[in-house]
Amino acid sequence: MTLSVRENLSSSLSEIFPDAPTFGPTRFFSAPGRVNIIGEHVDYAGGLVFPAAIDFRTHFAIRTNGLGTFRLYSLDFQSEFVTNDLNYSEKPWANYILGVILEALKLDLRVEGFDLAFTGNIPQGAGLSSSAAVEVGTAYALSKIFNWDITKEKIALLAQAAENHFVGVNCGIMDQFVIAVAKPSSCISLNTESLEYSYHSLDLPGYEFYLIDSNVKHSLKESEYNDRRKEVESATSKCNKLSTEVRTLSQADFSLIEKAGLTPSEFKRATHILGERSRAQNVIRSLKDKNAEKVGEELFSCHESLSKNFQVSCEETDYIVEWFRSENVLGARMIGGGFGGCVLVLDKEGRSSDLFSKLEKEYFQKFGLNAKIYKFSISEGVREDS
């Protein structure tokens, strides 16, 4: 955390919430955004995902206040919220925090009055999990100031429950999990059914990943994200009736989904899930072999499936991916929930600036939108900042 960020957070607490009888010490925390290299829209289908934390972070300052009141302030929205209860707020940013408090109380974890201010540089609506960073960062900060005896894995599950039950997005576990447990320079391969995971180095000498923001902003709650999950669940149920050993859709095979009586939409969703299982395994193997070309091929294949089978892309992200294909980059695909957001690009080092300069002009001419490029490095997960 830079000194200026710390000072802004501290001064915000003092200026916005000046009067509390028994302030605790102010402590500072941060949580990263994330990218997922492969394994998209499979974390609620029991699939294998391969995400990493990135060096875009949300920063928090927090202290107990002795008031029995939750006093929250978003520097980015210049907005405060004070409450004694946990009713749904008309301020969307506050609900990520309120949901965490509610889920903690359900687990009989101690939560008393506190002041919290936060800010960050994770682009919102870009598919980089800014919301999960708020949830995990809040949960981790509360675990420290109220002395919860809880692992980072449990922190992730609590944060996911806040998103599912309070915010209203029926997301899988991937985002919260990697934000909680990530290590520098490493991706994790996570089995989203068993929650078994391992760390893998992301090292492709001479090649780089970067992000292109389509500047098409999505809200997963308002999008068709929840509909996709319902289709996955209904397809899973039909497969389970034919084979009780199939607990998740990722455990099915093509012969099973062909005779399970799936609707056309369900069949498309299942086709993506099963294809992504193979792609994830191929990418992990190719990264180990340092085969960048094969990783790129799987990224393009993943995008095609997300666009045609899972139908969560949009005209703008499809355009960006195909534009990069025409420029002979190694691979590109949309990431995140979909319906906008970012495209992940893999290419040889040294080409990104020239390519983006060209894309930026052509993209604006076609859509009237300003694309952005984000360079990133792999970072660590949630932490307390000294």
Do 60 and 39 touch, CB atoms closer than 8 A? no
Q: How far apart are the first and last CA of the chain?
A: 8
Helix (H) or strand (E) holding 114: strand 114-120
Give the residue among 175, 267, 272, 171 at the shortest CA–CA distance from 226. 171
Instruction: Please name every residue paired with 334 in a beta bridge, in sequence order, or none if there are none.
Output: 343
- Alpha-carbon distance of 332 to 335, in angstroms, equals 9
Do 29 and 6 touch, CB atoms closer than 8 A? no
In Å, what is the CA distance from 352 to each residue of 207, 277, 290? 11, 29, 20
- Alpha-carbon distance of 187 to 49, in angstroms, equals 10
243 Cβ contact partners less than 8 Å away, ≥ 6 residues apart: 252, 256
Residue 33 gets which letter from DSSP?
Answer: E
Give the residue among 244, 245, 274, 281 at the shortest CA–CA distance from 257. 274
149 catalytically annotated: no
- Active site residue: 175, 213, 318, 347, which one? 175
Instruction: Taking the CA atoms of 98, 100, 103 and 109 in sequence, report the sign of the dihedral they define.
Output: negative
Helix axes of 130-145 and 92-106: crossing angle, nearest 10 degrees: 40
Residue 251 gets which letter from DSSP?
Answer: G
Q: Which residues are catalytic?
A: 175
